[in-house]
């Protein structure tokens, strides 16, 4: 009976010599599912399937509950201010006038510009760590240091930004204002906390994420692709830019979009260095605000219509992060390359 398996066809038990049958992997998988199994294995499979379904549904229910709670809390502000809440920057709890344009602009400016700086640095670091530019021990040490950067609490990074980074960068920002002050984005003289320092601290915070995901994606590129590129006479940099990066672009893009969502929702470090001003200015050297910072600063002492307005701002932030996640899924799906 070696090689024979027992199956049920209706109520009839059938013995088949599986090893003697030519069959595909799908057919073998179907026969594996139809085999006579102990009752304990059936109960285990059914219990695991039920538990996985419940937990997966619970994640969706929690997300829906959060969204509905924020939406319900923002109904008063939505009815009062409408879409004008998104285009005005006046935030005055005394007169009950609220507009989140300054915070929306600060959120988008800090997250997108920090991504613009961090992506080349992160992907370049990942290439440096996956290629044989330096000995493997040195690569391991550098990789460990990059990963440890992600473990530093955001409040510590905020303190470092206030007492070290911002004073160090102020002469550079002053020279930038003196040289390019005719541009609206550099029209104000830097006096301390502002959007530019917030952008740079976000670069420090999302750089480990981009580097780690890009490094894993580059490491998973099949060795045959690199060898084939070298076999047709390409150089190392030609193989990197024309073969390895295109093969890993879907994973890198997913990491970039994940970092964008992280930057949009960062609170503590940005709150400590951005200046928390609701006066709108295009200048990156002026104090600004983000939605997350505004919520952290004001929610504890808010009441009445201010709470509803903060809920409205939180709903906008959730929509922005939802758009980022949907866009990430679309980008990864479009850029994914399958090698068989």
Question: By mean pLDDT, which of 37-51, 76-90, 182-196 is the weakest?
Answer: 37-51
Within a domain: 69? no
Containing 241, the helix (H) or strand (E) segment is none
Span 116-154, pLDDT tens digits: 999 999 988 888 888 877 777 888 888 888 888 878 888
Q: Are residues 126 and 4 in the same domain?
A: no
Q: Are residues 28 and 94 in the same domain?
A: no
Distance CA 283, CA 22 (A): 71
Q: Are 291 and 103 in contact (CB under 8 A)?
A: yes
Within a domain: 257? yes
**23 pLDDT band (50/70/90 cuts)?**
low
What is the average pLDDT score of the chain? 81
Q: Are residues 214 and 328 in the same domain?
A: yes
CATH number, residue 227: 1.10.3720.10
Angle at 170 between CA 105 and CA 278, to 5 degrees: 25
Length of the chain, in residues = 340
Q: Are residues 165 and 236 in the same domain?
A: yes
With a pLDDT cut of 90, the percent of the chain lying above it is: 9
Q: Are residues 258 and 121 in the same domain?
A: yes
Distance CA 49, CA 107 (A): 41
Amino acid 1: pLDDT: 46
Answer whether residue 167 shows pLDDT above 80.
Answer: yes
Amino acid 243: pLDDT: 80
Answer whether residue 340 shows pLDDT above 50.
Answer: no
3-state secondary structure of 8: strand
Q: Are residues 243 and 95 in the same domain?
A: yes
Q: Are residues 30 and 81 in the same domain?
A: no
DSSP bridge pairs for 92: 97
Within a domain: 63? no
Question: What's the whole-model pTM score?
Answer: 0.79
Within a domain: 56? no
Closest CA to 140 of 127, 151, 129: 129
Q: Are residues 30 and 84 in the same domain?
A: no
Expressed as residue numbers, the domain containing 235 is 75-335
Amino acid 322: pLDDT: 85
Span 57-115, pLDDT tens digits: 898 899 889 889 888 888 888 888 888 888 888 888 888 888 889 899 999 999 999 99
Q: Are residues 4 and 148 in the same domain?
A: no
330 versus 309: the higher-pLDDT residue is: 309
Three-state SS sequence of 11-23:
CEEEEEEHHHCCC
Within a domain: 118? yes
Question: Phi/psi at 87 (nearest 5 deg)?
Answer: -115, 0
Sign of torsion, CA 86 89 93 96? negative
Amino acid 36: pLDDT: 62
Amino acid 279: pLDDT: 85
Q: Are residues 21 and 153 in the same domain?
A: no
Q: Are 294 and 310 in contact (CB under 8 A)?
A: yes
Question: By mean pLDDT, which of 52-61, 167-176, 196-205, 223-232 is the weakest?
Answer: 223-232
Q: Say if residue 116 is exposed, middle or buried (CB neighbours under 10 Å; 0-12, 13-18, 19+).
A: exposed
Distance CA 28, CA 37 (A): 16
Q: Are residues 29 and 151 in the same domain?
A: no
Q: Rounded mean pLDDT of 290-316?
A: 86
Residue 10's region, left for phi above 0, alpha for psi from -120 to 50, else beta, is left
Within a domain: 68? no
Q: Rounded mean pLDDT of 8-26?
A: 50
Within a domain: 44? no
Q: Provide long-range contacts, Cβ within 8 A and 24+ apart, for 244-249.
A: 244/218, 245/123, 245/127, 245/218, 246/337, 247/221, 247/222, 247/337, 247/339, 248/214, 248/217, 248/218, 248/220, 248/221, 249/335, 249/337
Q: Are residues 243 and 167 in the same domain?
A: yes
> Domains in the chain: how many in total?
2
Q: Are 73 and 311 in contact (CB under 8 A)?
A: yes
Within a domain: 52? no
Q: Rounded mean pLDDT of 244-251?
A: 82
């Amino acid at each position: 009976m070696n090689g024979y398996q027992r199956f049920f066809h209706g109520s009839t038990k059938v013995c088949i010599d599986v090893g003697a049958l030519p069959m595909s992997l799908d057919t073998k998988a179907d026969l594996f599912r139809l085999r006579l199994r102990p009752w304990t294995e059936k109960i285990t499979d059914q219990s695991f399937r039920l538990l996985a379904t419940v937990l997966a549904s619970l994640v969706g229910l929690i997300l829906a509950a959060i969204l509905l709670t924020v939406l319900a809390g923002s109904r008063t502000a939505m009815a009062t201010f409408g879409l004008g809440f998104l285009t005005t920057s006046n935030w005055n709890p005394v007169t009950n006038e609220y507009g989140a344009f300054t915070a929306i602009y600060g959120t988008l400016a800090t997250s997108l510009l920090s991504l613009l700086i961090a992506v080349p640095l992160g992907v370049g670091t990942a290439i440096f760590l996956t290629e044989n530019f330096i000995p493997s021990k040195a690569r391991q040490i550098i990789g460990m240091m990059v990963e440890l950067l992600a473990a530093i609490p955001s409040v510590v990074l905020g303190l470092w930004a206030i007492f070290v980074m911002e004073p160090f960068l102020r002469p550079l920002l002053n020279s930038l204002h003196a040289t390019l002050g005719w541009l609206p984005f550099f029209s104000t003289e830097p006096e301390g906390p502002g959007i530019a320092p917030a952008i740079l601290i976000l670069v420090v915070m999302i750089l480990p994420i981009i580097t780690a995901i890009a490094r894993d994606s580059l490491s998973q590129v099949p060795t045959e692709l690199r060898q084939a590129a070298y076999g047709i006479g390409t150089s190392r940099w030609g193989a990197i830019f024309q073969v390895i990066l295109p093969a890993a672009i879907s994973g890198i893009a997913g990491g970039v979009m994940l970092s964008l969502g992280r930057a949009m929702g960062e609170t503590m470090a940005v709150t400590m260095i951005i200046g928390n001003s609701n006066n709108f200015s295009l200048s990156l050297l002026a104090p600004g605000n983000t939605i997350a910072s505004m919520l952290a600063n004001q929610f504890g002492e808010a009441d009445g219509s201010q709470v509803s307005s903060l809920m409205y701002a939180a709903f906008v932030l959730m929509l922005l992060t939802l758009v980022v996640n949907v866009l990430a899924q679309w980008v990864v799906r479009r850029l994914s390359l399958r090698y068989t």
